[in-house]
């Protein structure tokens, strides 16, 4: 086991702060105890937010160029939480420098770059360097509990799934233009929250083999231009100019999983007013059904056919120490104690640190870069379906770990 692990975060926005907090808290979760984790640097091109985030979460310093993190001898592990089109350069540079990398999803903004990153991770692995992608919702205790109920036979084989990820960060036409609103069709809400929804559906139903009915719409076609640096969710001065929104505000598609006998419908939006983070997934199975709602993350809905018609229907199951990630993963390890999305980042970080440190009997490892490529293959198939008026499109790489 290594003596200590130095961590850094590149990108200090909303998700970057979640990563920064997760590295700080992860060593206190589960057993055995990790080697000391050193909080080294928070890096962001906008220095005020880099400095503030470093101070807030107890990091020793801040940087404004990712190359400084790559060159730092005291950094071993790095979260990459920047705009999708920047992932390849940053991740490949870090891997070449011998840093273990946890990259946010989606892996990149193009399949070509994603495949190149997976190849770079394979080469790095030969030198003992770990590259993983953050599929954070795999760490949701509720979703993990439903997966267990499927695999242990309680619910049995999945027949079909339904899922939606509704957000409203783009609902107001006054939200300024940013990188999230630029790029080809499919790089908008589909890549942003639809990528989460896709791997969550696969977590329960298996790999997507084909898609159909791909549909994109752009509800807000123009947005104001900010004068200077714009932080998400904050008011900023505007230039008076407007810029065209290039990608999708809303996306929907149908999917076939595995051999095609399992089907599902998935829907994503960034203009769903009053739903700031509305991920809901429902799995209908041989012996019942289960439902998880991110807005009520400390419970699942469960219905079993064995209950019979008189006592059937969904019932609330409050998650606790008998369910995944709760026992040993919370300071107050007791039934009825809730948590939220921030804890998922902590479980994700702990699994990554376990892998780097060589902890025996670790948590399930994070997704590989090849899983990230597959996720983008699905998104690409949806974009091709939308361009072809909803025609069926096969997924080029249906291999999923």
pLDDT tens for residues 239-283?
999 999 999 999 999 999 999 999 999 999 999 999 999 999 999
pTM for this structure? 0.92
At residue 338, does pLDDT exceed 90?
A: no
Same domain, 84 and 161: no
At residue 38, does pLDDT exceed 80?
A: yes
- Asked if residue 365 is part of any domain, the answer here is no
Same domain, 127 and 254: no
Domain holding 108, by residue range, is 5-134
Peptide bond before residue 32 is cis, with ω within 30 degrees of 0 = yes
Same domain, 36 and 85: yes
Mean pLDDT of 305-310: 81
Strand order in the sheet with 5-10: 61-63, 37-43, 5-10, 77-80, 100-104, 131-134, 367-368
Mean pLDDT across the chain: 93
For position 31, which CATH number holds?
A: 3.40.50.720
Of 191-205, 217-231, 337-351, which one has max mean pLDDT?
191-205
pLDDT (0 to 100) of residue 1:
66
Domain termination residue (choose one: 111, 134, 157):
134
Kindly report which listed range (79-83, 305-309, 321-325) carries the lowest average pLDDT score.
305-309
Give tens-digit pLDDT for 125-165. Answer: 999 999 999 999 999 999 999 999 999 999 999 999 999 99
**Number of folded domains in the chain?**
2
Kindly report which listed range (101-105, 241-245, 296-300, 361-365) carries the lowest average pLDDT score.
361-365
| pLDDT band, residue 398 (cuts 50/70/90) | very low
Same domain, 239 and 378: yes
Same domain, 75 and 219: no
CA pair distance 73, 76, nearest whole angstrom: 8
- Asked if residue 48 is part of any domain, the answer here is yes
- Asked if residue 89 is part of any domain, the answer here is yes
- Asked if residue 294 is part of any domain, the answer here is yes
Same domain, 117 and 200: no
- Asked if residue 358 is part of any domain, the answer here is no
For position 313, which CATH number holds?
A: 3.30.360.10
| pLDDT band, residue 360 (cuts 50/70/90) | confident
Same domain, 200 and 320: yes
Pairing of strands 299-304, 288-293: antiparallel
Mean pLDDT of 81-103: 97
- Treating both helix axes as pointing N-terminal to C-terminal, what angle do 87-96 and 111-125 enclose, rounded to 10 degrees? 10
Same domain, 94 and 222: no
- Whether the Cβ atoms of residue 176 and residue 241 lie closer than 8 Å to each other: no
| pLDDT band, residue 337 (cuts 50/70/90) | low
pLDDT (0 to 100) of residue 331:
67
- Asked if residue 10 is part of any domain, the answer here is yes
Same domain, 168 and 128: no
Same domain, 73 and 161: no
| pLDDT band, residue 312 (cuts 50/70/90) | confident
Same domain, 36 and 177: no
Same domain, 189 and 310: yes
Mean pLDDT of 322-326: 90
Domain termination residue (choose one: 114, 134, 154):
134
- Whether the Cβ atoms of residue 374 and residue 383 lie closer than 8 Å to each other: no
What are the tokens at 2? 């290594």
Domain termination residue (choose one: 134, 153, 188):
134
- Asked if residue 222 is part of any domain, the answer here is yes
- Asked if residue 218 is part of any domain, the answer here is yes
pLDDT (0 to 100) of residue 401:
41
At residue 233, does pLDDT exceed 70?
A: no
pLDDT (0 to 100) of residue 308:
80
């Amino acid at each position: 086991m290594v003596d200590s692990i130095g961590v850094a975060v590149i990108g200090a926005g909303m998700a970057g702060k979640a990563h920064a907090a997760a590295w700080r808290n992860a060593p206190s979760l589960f057993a055995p105890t990790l080697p000391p984790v050193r909080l080294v640097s928070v890096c962001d091109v906008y220095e005020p937010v880099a400095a503030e985030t470093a101070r807030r979460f107890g990091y020793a310093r801040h940087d404004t160029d990712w190359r400084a993190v790559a060159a730092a001898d005291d950094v071993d592990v790095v979260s990459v939480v920047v705009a999708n089109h920047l992932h390849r350069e940053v991740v490949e540079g870090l891997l070449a420098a011998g840093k273990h990398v946890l990259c946010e999803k989606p892996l990149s903004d193009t399949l070509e770059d994603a495949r190149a990153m997976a190849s770079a991770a394979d080469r790095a692995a030969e030198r003992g360097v770990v590259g993983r992608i953050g599929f954070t919702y795999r760490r949701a205790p509720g979703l993990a509990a439903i997966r267990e109920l499927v695999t242990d036979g309680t619910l049995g084989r999945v027949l079909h799934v339904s899922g939606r990820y509704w957000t409203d960060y783009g609902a107001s036409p006054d939200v300024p233009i940013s990188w999230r609103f630029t790029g080809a069709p499919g790089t908008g809400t589909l890549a942003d929250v639809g990528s989460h929804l896709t791997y969550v559906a696969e977590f329960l139903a298996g790999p997507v083999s084909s898609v159909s009915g791909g549909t994109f719409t752009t509800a807000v076609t123009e947005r104001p231009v900010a004068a200077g640096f714009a932080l998400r969710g904050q008011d900023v001065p505007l230039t008076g100019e407007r810029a065209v929104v290039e990608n999708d505000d809303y996306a929907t598609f149908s999917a076939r999983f595995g051999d095609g006998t399992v089907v599902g419908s998935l829907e994503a939006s960034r203009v769903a007013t009053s739903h700031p983070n509305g991920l809901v997934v429902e799995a209908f199975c041989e012996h019942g059904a289960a439902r998880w709602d991110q807005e009520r993350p400390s419970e699942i809905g469960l219905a079993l056919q064995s209950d019979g018609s008189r006592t059937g229907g969904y019932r609330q199951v409050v998650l606790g120490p008998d369910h995944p990630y709760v026992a040993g993963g919370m300071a107050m390890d007791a039934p009825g104690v809730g948590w939220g999305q921030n804890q998922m980042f902590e479980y994700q970080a702990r699994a990554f640190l376990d892998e780097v440190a060589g902890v025996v009997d670790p948590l399930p490892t994070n997704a590989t870069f090849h899983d990230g490529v597959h996720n983008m293959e699905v998104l690409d198939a949806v974009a091709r379906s939308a361009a072809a008026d909803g025609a069926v499109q096969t997924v080029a790489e249906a291999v999923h770990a």
